Amino acid sequence: MKSLPTVFVVDDDAPVRDGLKLLLRSVGHRVETCASAQEFLDLYTDDRPGCLVLDVRMPGMSGLDLQERLNERRAILPIIFITGHGDVPMAVEALQAGALDFLQKPFRDQELLDRIARALEKDASNRRELVELKQIAARFAELTPRERAVMDLVVQGKANKVIAGDLDISQRTVEIHRARVMEKTQAGSLAHLVRMVLRLQEAG
């Protein structure tokens, strides 16, 4: 089920596409090319790891438009823009929208290869992070509403006695719920529990 990372190249200029494909294959990357943003949108599914080398200016949907569409569907594929024009506002916009890099032609092959290596590393670590988050979320989903209520107060640093008062239950019941929370979430300590709760909150 785990697929190998692929470098996707989207550029309307056929010689550029072919040149990049040769270069990237020569260093052992898996490469897929598309002549338009639409073609990429049609073929790409978010579960495919890798990175995207994207031309800014293309007829029809531009590179920035494609980035926006990918952001809308919450794709996490890192994007390296390439451009023939020294367009500063465009570079700023692309980076603000989350692009990993913005490379101006002419560039040396090695410059692009270095950036691709960095993009693939970033993608791999983002995907590991996502898997971990999903596992944590699945464990937290096992909690009953009452356990959740106890946990919310526990992570606020409240003592069992205070929690018992807040929820109008016995201290013994709080202790039992608390132990179940730690067990179900596989939290090794209160600090660990708090960190997991924060990570889930950050991920929305």
Chain positions contacting other proteins, by CB under 8 A: 83, 86-89, 91-92, 95-96, 101-102, 104
What is the C-alpha to C-alpha distance for residues 86 and 96, in angstroms, rounded to an integer? 17
Q: Report the nearest approach of other proteins to the CB of residue 70 (Å).
A: 18
Q: How far apart are CA 117 and CA 152, in angstroms?
A: 41
**What angle do helix axes 171-185 and 145-155 make, rounded to 10 degrees?**
90
Integer Cα distance of 115 and 97 in angstroms: 18
**Paired strand residues for 102:** 81
Whether 43 and 32 have beta carbons less than 8 Å apart is answered as yes
Nearer to other proteins, 30 or 85 (CB): 85
Cβ-proximal residues to 51 (8 Å cutoff; 6+ apart), any chain: 5, 7, 8, 77, 78, 79, 80, 100, 116, 119, 120, 122, 123
Residue with Cβ nearer other proteins (32 or 87): 87
Of 62 and 173, the one with the shorter C-beta distance to other proteins is 62
Q: Which is nearer to other proteins, 56 or 75 (CB)?
A: 56
The nearest distance, CB 83 to other proteins, in angstroms, is: 7
Task: Provide the minimum distance between the beta carbon of 52 and other proteins in the complex, in angstroms, as a whole number.
Answer: 17
Output the smallest distance, CB 36 to other proteins, in A: 24
* Residue (91 or 187) nearer to other proteins, CB: 91
Closer CB to other proteins, 89 or 204, in the complex: 89
Find all residues with CB under 8 Å of 185, minimum gap 6, and list them.
Answer: 136, 139, 140, 143, 151, 193, 196
What's the rounded Cα separation, in Å, for the pair 93 and 102? Answer: 10
DSSP label of 141: H
